[in-house]
Amino acid sequence: MSGQGQRLNVVPTVTVLGVVKARLVGATRGHALLKKKSDALTVQFRQILKKIVSTKESMGDKMKASSFALIEAKYVAGENIKHTVLENVQTATLKVRSRQENVAGVKLPKFDYFHEGETKNDLTGLARGGQQVQACRAAYVKAIEVLVELASLQTSFMTLDAAIKTTNRRVNALENVVKPRLENTITYIKGELDELEREDFFRLKKIQGFKKREIERQLAAAKQFAEGQVAEKVSLQKGISLNSAQNMLSASEKDEDIIF
């Protein structure tokens, strides 16, 4: 795995260890939260999926019904009704309004349709077939209702799809990269600190041993000195300085006048 064996480039100290541990806690909490978010989004996603399928089906029926109504209107009002309709197009009376819906922090668009102003087609088919034309109109408005619903479902589907992908990517990144890296850093710092401690211990032991030896050496020197002192005292009491006795021998070698 890519995250394995990697660690942050930090100085192994106790402070940094605390910082990294805090970061690990944060990463774990973030991971749990993101996982929950991903689950919530997936639930919503599946619901929308089911709705899309059923709405698509009803859209087929509605479109069929409205096409049929149009054929009826054409039959009664004559073929040239379409020209009247095409001529009468000015401003849209049926519009959509989009608003946002919040699902686990993801904003989903929702479309609503509404009528604005009055229709210009009221007089269409006044001469003949007015009833059929109005029925056709109603059928198409119903179809549009379904289409608008389907459009908002589809948009939600796409938005959710993208959101789930990014959330899952984040979850995986935290799980497989960030968390192992932090854990590796923690183990590294701990190992390094342990080693420092051992080193320190060893050093202390070494110093202790050195000190012990030094004391022993000094003790031995002191003892020797004391013994020498005692010997001198004894020789002084006898009348001869131990040193001078020794010196007589040592000084005599330096005397240049004496020729042997």
Q: What is the binding site for another protein (CB under 8 A)?
A: 49, 52-53, 56-57, 59-60, 63-64, 66-67, 69-70, 81-82, 85-86, 88-100, 107, 109, 111, 114-116, 119-121, 124, 133, 136-137, 139-141, 143-144, 147-148, 150-152, 154-155, 157-159, 161-163, 166
Task: Name which of 35 and 142 has its Cβ closer to another protein.
Answer: 142
Task: Name which of 12 and 78 has its Cβ closer to another protein.
Answer: 78
Q: In angstroms, what is the minimal distance from the CB of 201 to another protein?
A: 53
Look up residue 245 and give its amino acid: A
Look up residue 43 and give its amino acid: V
Q: Quickly tell me which residue has 């002191």 as its tokens.
A: 222
Task: Name which of 94 and 177 has its Cβ closer to another protein.
Answer: 94
- Measured between alpha carbons, how far is 121 from 137 in angstroms, rounded to an integer? 9
Q: In angstroms, what is the minimal distance from the CB of 158 to another protein?
A: 5
Task: Name which of 33 and 230 has its Cβ closer to another protein.
Answer: 33
Pairing between strand 94-103 and 106-115?
antiparallel
Task: Name which of 39 and 57 has its Cβ closer to another protein.
Answer: 57
- DSSP SS3 for 44: helix
Q: In angstroms, what is the minimal distance from the CB of 151 to another protein?
A: 4
- Measured between alpha carbons, how far is 142 from 144 in angstroms, rounded to an integer? 5
Buried b (16+ CB within 10 A) or exposed e, 93-123: eeeeeeeeeebbebebebbebeeeeeeebee
- Measured between alpha carbons, how far is 147 from 65 in angstroms, rounded to an integer? 14
In 3D, which of 152, 156, 155 has the Cα closest to residue 41?
Answer: 156
Task: Name which of 7 and 74 has its Cβ closer to another protein.
Answer: 74
Q: In angstroms, what is the minimal distance from the CB of 89 to another protein?
A: 4
Q: In angstroms, what is the minimal distance from the CB of 178 to another protein?
A: 19
Q: In angstroms, what is the minimal distance from the CB of 87 to another protein?
A: 10
